[in-house]
Amino acid sequence: MKKIAILYFFLFLLFPSSSVFAEQKVPILVYHSIDEFHGQGSKELYVTPDNFEKQMLYLRDHGFTLLTFERWQDIHKVEKPIFITLDDGYKNNVNVYDIFQKVKNNHFLPTATIFTISDFIGRTNRLSNSDLKSLADSGLFSIQSHTATHPDLTKTTNYGHELKDSKEKIEKITGKDVIALSYPYGNTDAKVITEVKMYYLYGLTTTPDLYIEKGIKDEHYLLPRKYIKYSTTLEEFAKIVEGR
């Protein structure tokens, strides 16, 4: 036993700890529409309700814990943390609520974060005020900001409306804090991050990677996400969330 302990001690001295012990990889998944594809828009931005349900069952049956950004610090406390995010605030995101009701049990409480575009709330194919309030009150959803009008933030100067007004409008609707922003098109830069830090604690890109804590500057404003698409098979989904 002493020999094993000594071996690990010397391995720790010789190599960085990340080389000896596996780094924690946290998947942050990004979806858009959870619905059947009817020929409008980009097919790859859809995931059918049936496929989404199978994906959630996989997470349930393989010991994952679904989190929202209000519980970010819990990534160090729970088994296999993962984040489900949905961009744009489409009306069909209510399908997620129905699926969550089907798959939840005493050991699995699914949650998701909807990043809504505040000036688009209530449009024909978007969630309404009452939808957002109901989803937030269910305890299964966190409603966060995808800006006010979905501009490329690296090319705009109207930060007050896109960041501050969006945050305040959503907070007024849900009665809950808005602490996270999904960058439209995934685009950000140093100037944007400076502005975002005035109102938010987290910024999400579409850099296709799993989150690994590195302690770098502005790390929480450069969070990567993995796209889940119409064509993503369950086998591919499993490889993504398991970090393979």
How many domains are contained in the chain?
1
Q: Which pLDDT score, from 0 to 100, does residue 244 have?
A: 86
CA dist 50 and 43 (Å) reads 15
The answer to whether residue 232 is domain-embedded is yes
Residue 152 lies in a domain: yes
Residue 9 pLDDT: 46
Q: Which of 3-7, 37-41, 149-153, 238-242 has the lowest mean pLDDT?
A: 3-7
Structural domain boundaries enclosing 159: 28-241
233 occurs within a structural domain: yes
pLDDT at 22: 53
Sign of CA dihedral 56, 57, 60, 64: negative
Q: Following CA atoms 29, 94, 221, 27 in sequence, which dihedral angle do they give, to the nearest 10 degrees?
A: -20
Report yes or no on 196 lying in a domain: yes
pLDDT of 125 higher than 90: yes
Q: Say if 94 falls within a structural domain.
A: yes
How far apart, in whole angstroms, are the C-alpha atoms of residue 37 and residue 204? 26
Quick one: CA dihedral 238, 180, 140, 132, positive or negative?
negative
Q: What is the pLDDT of residue 5?
A: 47
d(CA 72, CA 68): 7
- Average pLDDT for 98-122: 98
Classify residue 18: in a domain, yes or no.
no
Is a pLDDT exceeding 90 seen at residue 8? no
In DSSP terms, which residues pair with 226 in a beta bridge?
A: 29
The helix (H) or strand (E) run that includes residue 86 is strand 81-88
pLDDT digits (tens, 9 = 90+) for 75-88: 999 999 999 999 99
Token pair 């969550």: residue? 100
pLDDT for residue 18 is more than 90? no
Residue 3 lies in a domain: no
The reply to whether 10 falls in a domain is no
CATH of the domain at 217: 3.20.20.370
CB 222 within 8 A of CB 192: no
Selection from 128, 112, 137 nearest residue 52 by Cα: 112
Name the 3-class secondary structure at 105.
Answer: strand
pTM (two decimals) = 0.91
What percentage of the chain exceeds 70 in pLDDT? 91
